[in-house]
Amino acid sequence: MIKKPYATILLVILTATNAVFGQAPVKQNLAGIATITFQNAPQESEVPNGLGKFYKLAKPTNNYIVIVINIDTARVIIKSSKDLDLFYSGVVDGAADSTQNRKLLYTKQIAVDKYKAVEFKYLDASTSRKFTVYQRIVYLDQTLFMYNFTVYDDNQPAMNAERERFLNSFTVTKATAKQL
């Protein structure tokens, strides 16, 4: 049986340890349409020209990035499934642009909740330390959500579980969200 003074000291030590070393996940609201859970609170900034929001959490081994773009403001018109496919293709081509020393490794259609989305992976060798980007894109309510997990290649295997946790934490919260 632990005596009360020792239990109090133990409780203070555990609380202090969690405050210093613990990580409090942060569920980030994304335009009132979806949420995603960051490991800690991300930095938030505006996308230029009022196009949307940029969220980033940088770590020594990896980065968590979410970009939310208002498509109405960007003046892009998506009326059909074919338009959406072409739009997604353009986003992938732009992100994995080979002229920027990037190499597309795969792209595939996925479902995010019940919505059509795309997942792709590319190697970026544009800096001295190569990294791999795992990115997903989904278009809902005239808004493009681009969220990615970037990991430096020397840390890639150790980050697989965290990558999946982050990418799979994206949740559509607006019950009336429309894709087209």
Q: Which two tokens stand for residue 28?
A: 């980030």
Assess if residue 32 is contained within a domain: yes
Output the CA torsion sign for 20, 21, 24, 28: positive
pLDDT given for residue 67 in this prediction: 97
pLDDT given for residue 1 in this prediction: 53
Our CA angle for 90, 157, 106, nearest 5°, is: 25
Residues of the chain with pLDDT under 70: 1-23, 154
The phi, psi pair for 32, rounded to 5°, reads: 70, 10
What CATH number corresponds to the domain at position 168? 3.40.1000.10
Number of compact structural domains in the chain:
1
Q: Are 73 and 98 in contact (CB under 8 A)?
A: no
- 36 is in which domain, residue-wise? 24-172
Assess if residue 2 is contained within a domain: no
pLDDT given for residue 35 in this prediction: 98
Whole-prediction pTM: 0.85
- Whole-angstrom distance, CA of residue 7 vs CA of residue 2: 6
- Whole-angstrom distance, CA of residue 89 vs CA of residue 107: 9
Output the CA torsion sign for 139, 31, 113, 164: positive
- Whole-angstrom distance, CA of residue 84 vs CA of residue 36: 22
pLDDT given for residue 123 in this prediction: 95
pLDDT given for residue 2 in this prediction: 53
pLDDT given for residue 76 in this prediction: 85
